[in-house]
Structure 1
């Protein structure tokens, strides 16, 4: 007989939807499909071999949340007008997370435990929450890289329970810094290894794998009954974290229920049986099913050389070998990638070295050119110094050998000299030199000798007359021009000698000009030497 007025319809199909924590599947099933057949179909589709830990969870309007019974038909457990949607969850938590041999099973357990911790169903201290969050980030994002990690990349609200934020007055940035501190220490962990470390840390929590059922004891006090992979726990109503009493499966002789009473018979005869009064009879059936499954897994895990144990060990070895092959492949690929990167870096360094050597060669050439230029500038400075010294010596010699009182006076009555029509022309006396050229030896003949000279009439305003050169045999003797008419330079033209003031002014102007040029060149030379020194220091550095 079918419940809810359903009639048998041969060949009739119905659609169910199965959702996991990361996927959604849809199946068309026959009317007589059982819960065990649907679970096997889902596990086969996803690729899960550890199907004994999983179950299909659904929302029952009569029983509340319930697990799909494996030995009953699906249409006998759900209402035909309801949406046929089931959740694939771990019904029985493993005693040790390493018992799950498949990565898919381990990943689903990781997602489920993570959800329970974030929701607050599994109590977790704040320090452990931060460490668990660091493994979660490692499994999601991989190794920590400081160059690519940005502030706000770690969403603390998705990694920590909301209760942690209320307990401590810390900003999200402060929580992120604490998570990042642990996250940076998980270098090299793969996704499976990070999830396994997460679960190993989570299974040490007091509420891991505990399914609580509300009820009362035989005295009527409100208590909680918790089924765990290792046994049964009794919790007070005020504290559902620390158990009031615990009974491991080896200490339990038998368990069962009658009406609302669920009885646990212990091995010790001196101990009283534990009586748990459920809120309704159907809950006792769920508790009995949960306790039976955990007890069966507990015994199977400790059976020596059992068929199921051998199958699990074989699958574990296969998965281990597969992971080793994948790790070797990844290491090989990473080594090849690192080798290619190293070769590219080496080529880049060689190119940089060639450019550096070329630049160094150019700098050396520039240094040699600047050194040569510095030497030339120093030689020019030395020549300028020698020239200035020569001029000073000539001036000193002239001043010491040509007294002003012995200069010839200006000839009077110079009018009408220019018979060619230049009546008002002005004669200018130009003296070549009174001393022998610098570096020449004076003549050995004592006395004065006069060279012939001529008078040149300048039509505009000046007439230049070249003065005779007097050679002195004695450098200390005074220089005296001839005074007699026989010693005149040009016959018929009066002898003319420029005044001492005019000649000295011309000589001083010439000396001042040379001095100004010398100072200008000296300043230019000083600046050039300074620039050269700076360039040499730059090349040395």
Structure 2
């Protein structure tokens, strides 16, 4: 009886359960949605592979899948875990997203992966998650227009195209900004879409929060701060201003205990002992999420290969043992050049 009521509550409930298959709705970086049928025993990596195959993305390890959990919209799907254990109720809704932003976009071998990463940056700028100066906004928007529309033509209505492509927040679009965009757009004549997208990312990577995942916390003085985890390490921001930066090379250990997140830094030439920095997170769940994000970023950008975290016999289990990182950046760069399609 209970199962019948669940099916009646959903118009497509019969469509989602087809034998041993489960239907997943995936939101793409351009805002479109696709549906993918996966096996009931499929893991997160199987779903990510299917999404990347549908989009023709070859460098899949830069990407991941986000889902909503207990009000938090930015929880990463565990690639090593069965989807049926991650999602308790149907429908299964996920968002395709960039998990590891490449510090050097020019080293990307896959044009489709570069396009998807540029879509992610465009979305962050349009939604206000990533900020920049007005002139940088104009430069980035001009590269988007070149990639999407080709060479400048007077017949193009820039106001209409900027609104359609969502490259600038509506509140930030002024007559002066539009004039600067048009002036810069004219200078890109002759650039192919791939060249324009690369130039877009080469300028976007200079932004302070490019590719950073932000986590709200409090410092030792109980002041609100934001911890930003990215390819280079962990940074501390207060009121949008950079206060400190801790590169991966300086870290000896990353740990957490309940709501306390701790970084152990190696001693420099002026210090006799290592430094321990602790930050307080809103909850144990938030602290574990930050710790996991830090370890996965360190593993992807610094390690030769993924390291499996094993439990030591005789000691209590502290921290998570599930890390979603299939290959590191070094492993990806060691692969031969990806085959490229030749079009007539």
- What is the TM-score of this pair, normalised by structure 1? 0.51
- Match of 2:215? 213
User: In the alignment, does 2:129 pair up with 1:127?
Assistant: no
Other-structure match for 2:237: 235
Give the aligned partner of residue 101 of structure 2.
93
CA contact (8 A) 2:134 2:177 kept: no
Give CA-to-partner distance per residue, 1:105-125, whole Å, 9 cap, x none: 111111110111121111110
Q: Identify which of structures 1 and 2 has the higher relative contact order when contacts are C-alpha pairs closer than 8 Å and 6+ apart.
A: 2
User: Counterpart of 2:337 in 1: which secondary structure?
Assistant: helix
Check the 8 A contact 1:60/1:66 in 2, yes or no. yes
CA distance in structure 1 between the aligned counterparts of 2:274 and 2:172, rounded to whole angstroms: 41
8 Å CA contact 1:93, 1:229 repeated in 2? yes
Name the structure 2 match of 1:297: 300
CA distance in 2, matches of 1:196, 1:306: 21
Give CA deviations for 1:407-456 in whole Å, capped at 9, x if unaligned.
Answer: xxxxxxxxxxxxxxxxxxxxxxxxxxxxxxxxxxxxxxxxxxxxxxxxxx
Does 1:141 find its partner at 2:143?
A: no
1:204: which partner in 2? 206
Q: Which has the larger radius of gyration?
A: 1
Shift of 1:161: 2.6
CA gap of 1:296–1:98, structure 2 versus 1, over 3 A, is farther
CA offset digits 1:493-528 (Å, max 9, x no partner):
xxxxxxxxxxxxxxxxxxxxxxxxxxxxxxxxxxxx
**Pair 1:152–1:162, CA change in 2 (3 A):** closer
Bigger fraction of residues in helix:
1
CA apart distance, 1:12: 3.4
Return the alpha-carbon distance in structure 2 between the equivalents of residues 220 and 36 of structure 1: 39
Instruction: Give, in whole Å, the separation in 1 of the partners of 2:56 and 2:159.
Output: 36
Q: Is the 8 A contact 2:135 2:180 kept in 1?
A: no
Q: CA deviation at 1:221?
A: 2.3
Q: Structure 2 regions of 5+ residues with no counterpart?
A: 1-16, 306-328
Shift of 1:270: 3.3
**Residue 310 of structure 1 corresponds to which residue in structure 2?**
334
Structure 1 residues 155 and 28: CA distance shift in structure 2, 3 A: closer
In structure 2, the residue matched to 1:44 is: 53
* Residue pair 2:217, 2:280 contacting (<8 A) in 1 also: yes
Conservation of the 8 A alpha-carbon contact between 1:255 and 1:265 = yes
What's the offset of the Cα at 1:25?
A: 2.6
Give TM-score, length-normalised by structure 2. Answer: 0.79
Is 2:212–2:230's contact at 8 Å kept on the other side of the alignment?
yes
**8 A Cα contact 2:66 2:73, kept in partner:** no
Name the SS for the 2:242 alignment partner.
coil
Unaligned runs of 5+ in 1: 1-8, 330-541
Distance 1:28 1:301, change over 3 A: same
Higher-strand-fraction structure: 2
Match of 1:182 in 2: 184
CA contact (8 A) 1:156 1:176 kept: no
SS in structure 2 at match of 1:43: helix
Cα offset, 1:13, TM superposition: 2.8
- Following the alignment from structure 1 to structure 2, what is the Cα–Cα distance between the partners of residues 140 and 254? 45
- CA change 1:221–1:306 in 2 (3 A) is closer
Cα shift at 1:20: 0.9
Contact 2:66–2:74 under 8 Å retained in 1? yes
Contact 2:25 2:35 in 1 (8 A): yes
Residue in 1 that maps onto 2:13: none
Q: 1:155 to 1:298 in 2, by over 3 A?
A: closer
The Cα RMSD (Å) is 2.6
Closer, same or farther in 2 for the Cα pair 1:307/1:248, shift >3 Å?
closer
- What is the SS of the residue equivalent to 2:275? coil
